[in-house]
């Protein structure tokens, strides 16, 4: 049974329409990747799910609750957390405070500071310095930890690999199976196709605000993906 079900979602930036009739569903514990070129609508789609972008849909149900019109802060309380593109750590908060602010809603669950520090030990050593003083990879760890601190049932990750060295990307993606093992559903937006195909149970390819291809990674050919990705 789907935890998130979306039918015919549209999204707008003022008068500009960014998404056209998106259909997508995610099962409990499933990892879904949204791939596509720059400007294809992937990030807008994630931001629409979180309520940060004005959107509409025929159906937008999360665990039986209609999310249409819900505010972003209410959606977090329902169990959807996001790791935003560019990390977006709070500059005036230390590493530990950035993690603690993730638990602002005090949603019950298993994720605690200690567990986040177990997952990313480097962060414990640097817990008192400003989050934005960390390296890009460490900032990404804080951003993931911060999202987990809200004890989500669904984690949305926007461009985890953006601007990071390959070895750091490996570390970051290495943390995801552990999160998935907790029963958390993952929706990952990624431009690195290989990375996305490696981790995803299913893939949705975005092109110009629409879904151009969907399927299981093992069922999709390179040619199909290239055509859906680049539109040729």
Contact, 53 vs 41, CB < 8 A?
Answer: no
Q: For other proteins, which is the closer residue by CB, 104 or 230?
A: 104
Asked if 115 and 124 touch (Cβ cutoff 8 Å), the reply is no
What is the rounded CA–CA span in Å between residue 142 and residue 131?
8
Q: Which of residues 79-98 bind other proteins (CB under 8 A)?
A: 81-82, 84, 88, 90-93, 97
Q: How far is the CB of 28 from other proteins (least distance, A)?
A: 22
Choosing from 146, 176, 190, 206, the residue that interacts with other proteins (CB under 8 A) is 146
Determine contact, residues 36/206, Cβ cutoff 8 Å: yes
Piece in contact with other proteins (CB under 8 A), picked from 22-30, 67-75, 109-117, 173-181? 67-75
Q: Which lies closer to other proteins via its Cβ, residue 68 or residue 165?
A: 68
Chain-centre distance for alpha carbon 80 = 9
Residue with tokens 């972003």: 72
Smallest separation, CB 187 to other proteins (Å): 14
Task: Look at residues 154, 4, 150 and name the one whose alpha carbon lies nearest to residue 64.
Answer: 4
The one among 5, 23, 77, 192 contacting other proteins by CB under 8 A: 77
Closest to other proteins by CB, 105 vs 215, is 105
- CA–CA separation, 198 vs 186, rounded Å? 14
Tell me whether residue 76 or residue 205 sits nearer to other proteins (CB atom). 76
113 binds other proteins (CB under 8 A): no
Q: Does 51 bind other proteins (CB under 8 A)?
A: yes
Only one of the segments 60-68, 73-81, 115-123, 211-219 lies at the binding site for other proteins (rule: CB under 8 A); that segment is 73-81
Gyration radius from the chain CA atoms: 17
Say whether residue 69 binds other proteins (CB under 8 A).
no
Q: In the chain, where do the E strands start and end?
A: 2-13, 16-27, 31-36, 55-56, 59-62, 65-66, 80-83, 154-158, 185-190, 202-207, 210-215
Q: Which of 37, 61, 72, 220 binds other proteins (CB under 8 A)?
A: 72
Q: Decide: is 101 part of the binding site for other proteins (CB under 8 A).
A: yes
- Beta strands at 154-158 and 80-83: parallel, antiparallel or unpaired: parallel
Residue numbers at the binding site for other proteins (CB under 8 A) = 50-52, 71-73, 76-77, 81-82, 84, 88, 90-93, 97, 100-102, 104-105, 107, 146-147, 150
């Amino acid at each position: 049974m789907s935890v998130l079900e979306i039918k015919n979602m549209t999204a707008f930036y003022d008068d500009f329409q960014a998404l056209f009739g998106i259909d997508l569903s995610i099962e409990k514990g499933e990892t879904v990747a949204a791939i596509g070129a720059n400007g294809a609508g992937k990030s807008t789609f994630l931001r629409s799910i979180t309520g940060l972008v004005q959107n509409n849909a025929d159906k937008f149900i999360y665990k039986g609750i209609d999310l249409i019109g819900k505010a972003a802060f209410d959606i977090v309380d329902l169990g959807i957390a996001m790791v935003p593109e560019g990390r977006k750590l709070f500059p005036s908060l230390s590493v530990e405070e950035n993690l603690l602010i993730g638990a602002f809603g005090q949603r019950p669950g298993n994720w605690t500071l200690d567990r986040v520090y177990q997952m990313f030990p480097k962060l414990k050593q640097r817990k008192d310095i400003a989050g934005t003083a960390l390296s890009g990879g460490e900032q990404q760890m804080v951003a993931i930890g911060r999202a987990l601190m809200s004890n989500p049932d669904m984690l949305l990750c926007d461009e985890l690999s953006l601007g990071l060295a390959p070895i750091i990307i490996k570390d970051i993606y290495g943390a995801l199976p552990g999160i998935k093992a907790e029963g958390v559903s993952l929706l990952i937006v990624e431009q690195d196709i290989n990375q996305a195909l490696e981790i995803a149970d299913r893939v949705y390819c975005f092109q110009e605000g629409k879904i151009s291809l969907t399927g299981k990674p093992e069922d999709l050919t390179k040619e199909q993906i290239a055509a859906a990705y680049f539109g040729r």
